[in-house]
Amino acid sequence: MENKVQLITYIDRFSCRNINELHQQLLREELKPLFSGVHLLPFFYPIDRADAGFDPIDHRKVDPRLGTWEDIKALSRDVDVMADLIVNHVSAESQQFLDYLEKGESSPFADMFLTYRKIFPQGATDEDLLKIYRPRPGFPFSRFQFKDGTERFVWTTFTSNQIDIDVNSEPGKAYLESILDTFQDAGIRMIRLDAAGYAIKLPGTSCFMIDQTFSFIEALTQKARERDMNVLVEIHSHYKTQISIAEKVDYIYDFALPVLVLDTLFHKNATNLKKWLRMSPRNAFTVLDTHDGIGIVDVASEQGEAGLIDDKDIDHIVRKIHENSGEESKKATGAAASNLDLYQVNCTYFDALGRDENSYLIARAIQFFSPGIPQVYYMGLFAGSNDMKLLEKTNVGRDINRHYYTANEVDESLRKPIVRNLRKLIEFRNSHPAFNGEFEIVDGENDELKLNWSKGDEFTQLFVDLNNMQMSINYSSPNGEQNLDLI
């Protein structure tokens, strides 16, 4: 995976009806210099169930409305393609789970699923159940009736349509490896392990990122590497957990960065951001926005362990996002809408900054100068605003940041000055050799941020004056030191 900016997008929300049209979009003059790779959000069959493709009926089949594996392979010849390996669960409508409901314990897939009795054969105490880490309210079980009339509680971490897999069972292992084989054949270069933190369930534990989870992730990463694929692990958790995971995998997300950048810009103080950048994992993918919300847990305290930002300051940041978005984010966050988790604020990053173009470009510059490979979400690429109509239609909180762009909207967005400036920043990040060198935080006042990259005689520096909200980018060139001019 090249150290250049990557795109994250849904195929059908980028003004494209299918994979081939997205392929052509990425090759157009305005976009071709921007992205060396693309993370295709779930394109498996089907893409339109409860969780926008993260609950596939058949993970090894491309939704025919989008194309085929051959189309994915063709795309992979021009850009590096990343796909999601949905580790934790399958759809309740999957062939495997339907067979289990039909045949019960005589099904060849019976061991693939986790029932309450399988995890707690002697029953569970209140303490056992309260220990389980939850991304949403309630207990992680759903009641299902089998063909013989019996009923059982089955483990469902997220929704009742997402049935958790026993990843240590033989059919569970075979299922995950078959997906890896399918990806390898399609030319996919990297996989993102989705919801991997919830994969291992042991009684008496939190069932989230326990020691056995680390072992599972390491083993699955090795299987991917044997197929010439790198692994990006998606975990929302305390920052120390992120650092521990990073030591064991190819890449991890820097989910702390989005809130730390907001903290820096809202409070005009870079202290917390500088502290993090001095210790953040270097094998990271940096983001400001994704298909999920803006994660709060990644910077917060946990069980008495201090976070990266004081909890009272986090509360102020959340309130400021709501204020900046005209309270739109409040309507999409937590219990206000249908949400799989309550620890994220649903809002476009542009709206979180009050649609202030200068602040938005400063935020992107900080992202591009932070250690790691930058990813830009399609909504962020276009400096998109909250889609309140889609939110109203679906009542799914995350849909506020999952707009379906038309071809005209894409063309209009690419002409906007803020997007033209962002494109210029992306091209600079992709082309300057200093970004493949050494990173340095230059000491300075709390209301200043100076980030340097250098490689031999090549250098570039980002300077942000937070009080006046001004930035400059200096860099080496064959014609001497230059300043990056934005429109």
Q: Which residues are catalytic?
A: 194, 234
Q: Is 23 annotated as contributing to ligand binding?
A: no
Would you say the C-alpha torsion 144, 145, 147, 149 has a positive or negative sign? positive
Q: Is 51 annotated as contributing to ligand binding?
A: yes
Q: Is 403 annotated as contributing to ligand binding?
A: no
Q: Is 12 annotated as contributing to ligand binding?
A: no
Q: Is 344 annotated as contributing to ligand binding?
A: yes
The C-alpha atoms of residue 179 and residue 373 are separated, in whole angstroms, by 25
Burial class (CB in 10 A: 0-12, 13-18, 19+), 484: middle
Tokens 């005689």 belong to: 457
Q: Is 291 annotated as contributing to ligand binding?
A: yes
Q: Choose among 298, 279, 300, 301: nearest CA to 290.
A: 298
Q: Is 447 annotated as contributing to ligand binding?
A: no
Q: Is 60 annotated as contributing to ligand binding?
A: no
Q: 9 is written with which tokens?
A: 């997008």
Q: Choose among 139, 132, 170, 171: nearest CA to 154.
A: 139
Q: Is 99 annotated as contributing to ligand binding?
A: no
Q: 414 is written with which tokens?
A: 């690419």
Q: Is 63 annotated as contributing to ligand binding?
A: no
Q: Is 341 annotated as contributing to ligand binding?
A: yes
Pairing of strands 151-155, 141-145: antiparallel
Q: 33 is written with which tokens?
A: 């210099």
The C-alpha atoms of residue 360 and residue 465 are separated, in whole angstroms, by 14
Q: Is 39 annotated as contributing to ligand binding?
A: no
Pairing of strands 458-465, 448-455: antiparallel
Q: Is 322 annotated as contributing to ligand binding?
A: no
Annotated binding site for substrate: 51, 89, 192-194, 234, 291-292, 341-344, 398
Enumerate the known binding-site residues: 51, 89, 192-194, 234, 291-292, 341-344, 398
